Amino acid sequence: MSDEDGFDRMVETAIAAHQLLALHGTSTMQLLSRLLLMEIGTEIAARRDAEAAANDNPDVPEA
């Protein structure tokens, strides 16, 4: 399993867990789940920014 596949599986699992916690978890569990989803969102944004920077070619002028 690639690193990206593992990350995607973790995200899907965290979302599924969040849905269950919304129905059955304590308020503290729900808070922790929301914090986890926020951290995942931050990581997704950082990965997207890193990917965009890696694809940036300063030798090619912008149109």
pLDDT in tens, 27-52: 999 999 999 999 999 999 999 998 88
Calculate what percentage of the chain has a pLDDT beyond 90. Answer: 73
Strand, coil or helix: 61: coil
Question: What does pLDDT average to over the chain?
Answer: 91
62 has a pLDDT exceeding 70: no
Residue pair 19/29 in contact by the 8 Å Cβ criterion: no
Two structure tokens written together for 39: 């951290």
Q: What is the pLDDT of residue 18?
A: 99
Residue pair 21/29 in contact by the 8 Å Cβ criterion: yes
Q: How far apart are CA 57 and CA 7, in angstroms?
A: 27
3 has a pLDDT exceeding 80: yes
14 has a pLDDT exceeding 80: yes
